[in-house]
Amino acid sequence: MKKKELKTFRDQYIDFEGDVYSEGLALAVHFDEKDDIKEYGVKWDADKKQWWLPAAKVNVDTVSELNSRKMIVGQYGAIDTDAAESICMDLESTDFTLKNMEGDTMLFNFYEGPALVRVVDGQTQMTHWDNIETARKRWNILVDQGGFVRV
């Protein structure tokens, strides 16, 4: 993360609370801080250019320290479907539908508290869970490349 982006992120930081229901936690780390955080067992994802903490390494003390340093972005990697269903079962969502010229639809259910998004393909009824960042990318691809519009 570039210094300006990191400053904005940290100025608006809200402590991470709750459970990890994915592969781990995504972190906002500047290059100058990388050596400081390695003691927590963090890993570098070269493809995503993202530091992340594996779920097995997450504990109360580590989360507390990373919160104090304003580094936790949110869930990282694949979302555990069963956990997501369980967490969001009784929560209200903000729903949006995308539709293309052929009539195909995609439903996005945004759950604010756990920062999860359920994406449902209207034709196959297949469900996929994403974190907010991945859902935004999926949305943008559908709109920019798939001819989808919000209805």
- Please report the pLDDT score of residue 89 as a whole number: 94
Residues 28 and 62 in one domain: yes
Residue after which a domain boundary falls, among 78, 97, 119: 78
Same domain, 92 and 138: yes
Please give the Cα distance from 117 to 110 (Å, whole number).
5
Residue 5 Cα distances to 2, 65, 67, angstroms: 5, 21, 17
Q: What is the pLDDT of residue 3?
A: 85
> Among 63, 78, 93, which residue terminates a domain?
78
Q: Which of 46, 78, 110 is the last residue of a domain?
A: 78
Do 89 and 135 sit in the same domain of this protein?
yes
- Same-domain pairing of 12 and 68: yes
Domain co-membership, 63 together with 29: yes
Residue 114's pLDDT is what? 87
- Structural domain range at position 56: 3-78
Give the chain's domain count.
2
User: Cα–Cα distance between 23 and 56 in angstroms, integer?
Assistant: 9
DSSP letters of 61-94?
HHHHHHHHTT-EEEEEEEE-HHHHHHHHTT---E
In order along its 151 residues, the chain shows pLDDT tens digits of 788 989 999 999 999 988 899 999 999 999 899 999 999 999 999 998 999 999 999 999 999 999 999 999 999 999 999 999 999 999 999 999 999 999 999 999 999 888 899 999 999 999 999 988 889 999 999 999 999 999 9
Predicted local confidence at residue 115, as pLDDT: 86
Do residues 39 and 74 both lie within one domain?
Answer: yes
